[in-house]
Structure 1
């Protein structure tokens, strides 16, 4: 768990699972894989297994020890809904999040159908907690199909991470979506973010009254291109009143 994060839309990260596998073109230049693989084979290092999927039960209670409230990005170095993560372990993560209700947890996945099915089962008889935000990654028009899975999932706050944005998403229905983060790719081989793709997403958010956060243009380093879009920074977060309504 890292108290403090370079990710502009969160305060901290919590990784009860690390490692993942690539399933879309958006994964091609994965920053988490690039970081983890630097340490493969170094005995005693948290990433001595590189980016192989590893469950870390010793980390499950970490958020309960933090008494000051934070926004916490869950599994910045993995995907909680990876098929290799047993349902019992997903249950344990959710039990911690539900208990630590003074934090806001931000759960992001590319495995949107598994997330939808899990949430339908977990919250079949009760209201999803407002402090657990659920999101899906969308890198282009093909990835936008995950939005339907998210919309069908029981959640009080739903969000999209349109990053890395590697192609136009097109006109998209944002009904029941509360927040959209957009940004370009960073690191070696970073693909260029076309300004018109970013503008289209921003304009759809404004038209449909959805909070919009522009994270970065990307480049060789995350800060290379800055954060301004058409002369300003876009730093909106979801309205809890709108989400609960």
Structure 2
């Protein structure tokens, strides 16, 4: 299980990553990986480049974890790779096909993939035909997913049945794909996301480091907003949320305010005490927020009756 407000379960078929923009500077996963390495956790024994990563945080794939969702009977929202980025350049395309095959054969779950590398996601999942036959975008990748159910294939995942290609639509109806945008310098990631096939496209504006006046939410179904928490947290201004909620309403995106951050919690008082003194060090309890910021909505996937 997980304490992340917008999901219910985490699944990490890869671990590790590399910092690529200011939103990564205080990465919680990097800090946690160092701690887990010290505890002897097997998944966190590979060290990354100290300039962009750290102890226990080298990009590592974990084939033994692929079958975990096959054992989860109760439907749940699953955050894929809370400790990594599934579309990191060092995640092999074949391994991605295995991950997507598992998601395809477990339609009872909703998978939420968050990446800072949406350009690679768009490129792989559209997978333009180069064989000369004129296959539609994504068909080659879908075909590679089918091989994950073949025992003599190098991409085999035990427990999968044949027919993945024909039983699942495209994009997979239970897979949501999002990108992180922390400042106006990175709103271009939304353009790449719009080119990515997904049942739901979402943006995580967390940690939000400034207003996003250039953000275009056309084609974006869900907008998560949050301030930064933890040591070294940077300032977060609540008026940034006001602007984003307004833009989300105009574009038809569902807004979800996750938290107001540690700086806000340390400087905002309730009944004579700071919010942090009440035990909410992340500013994540809506009971302490201004009423108009208490917004936590979920998107409706295309084709859903909800």
* TM-score, normalising length: structure 2: 0.74
Task: Could you tell me which runs of 5 or more consecutive residues in structure 1 were left unpaired when the two chains were aligned.
Answer: none
- Give 1:124's match in structure 2, choosing from 120, 131, 138: 138
* Aligned equivalent of 2:157: none
Counterparts of 1:63-142 in structure 2 under 5 Å?
63-121=69-127, 124-125=138-139, 127-142=170-185
Shift of 1:47: 2.3
Counterparts of 1:168-207 in structure 2 under 5 Å?
168-207=211-250
1:220-239, CA deviations, whole angstroms, 9 ceiling, x for partnerless residues?
A: 78753234453152110001
Segments of 4+ moved more than 6 angstroms: none
CA 41–169 in structure 1, closer or farther in 2 if over 3 Å, else same: same
Contact 1:216–1:223, Cα closer than 8 Å, also in 2:
no
Q: Does 1:17 find its partner at 2:22?
A: no
* Aligned equivalent of 1:55: 61
Q: Does 1:161 find its partner at 2:212?
A: no
- Give 1:34's match in structure 2, choosing from 31, 36, 49: 31
- Give 1:237's match in structure 2, choosing from 298, 301, 304: 298
Counterpart-to-counterpart distance in 2, 1:101 and 1:163: 28
Shift of 1:111: 0.7
Deviates more, 1:169-178 or 1:86-95: 169-178
1:8-44, CA deviations, whole angstroms, 9 ceiling, x for partnerless residues?
A: 0000000000011100000000000011112335445
1:56-93, CA deviations, whole angstroms, 9 ceiling, x for partnerless residues?
A: 10000101110110000000000001011111111111
CA 35–208 in structure 1, closer or farther in 2 if over 3 Å, else same: same
Task: Could you tell me which runs of 5 or more consecutive residues in structure 2 were left unpaired when the two chains were aligned.
Answer: 47-55, 129-136, 140-168, 264-275
Counterpart-to-counterpart distance in 2, 1:224 and 1:18: 24
1:159 aligned counterpart, secondary structure: strand
2:127 aligned counterpart, secondary structure: helix
> For the pair shown, which has the larger CA radius of gyration, 1 or 2?
2
Contact 2:230–2:282, Cα closer than 8 Å, also in 1:
no
Counterpart-to-counterpart distance in 1, 2:62 and 2:4: 22
Counterparts of 1:210-221 in structure 2 under 5 Å?
210-219=253-262
What is the root-mean-square deviation of aligned Cα atoms in Å?
A: 2.0
Paired positions, count? 241
Counterpart-to-counterpart distance in 2, 1:211 and 1:243: 15
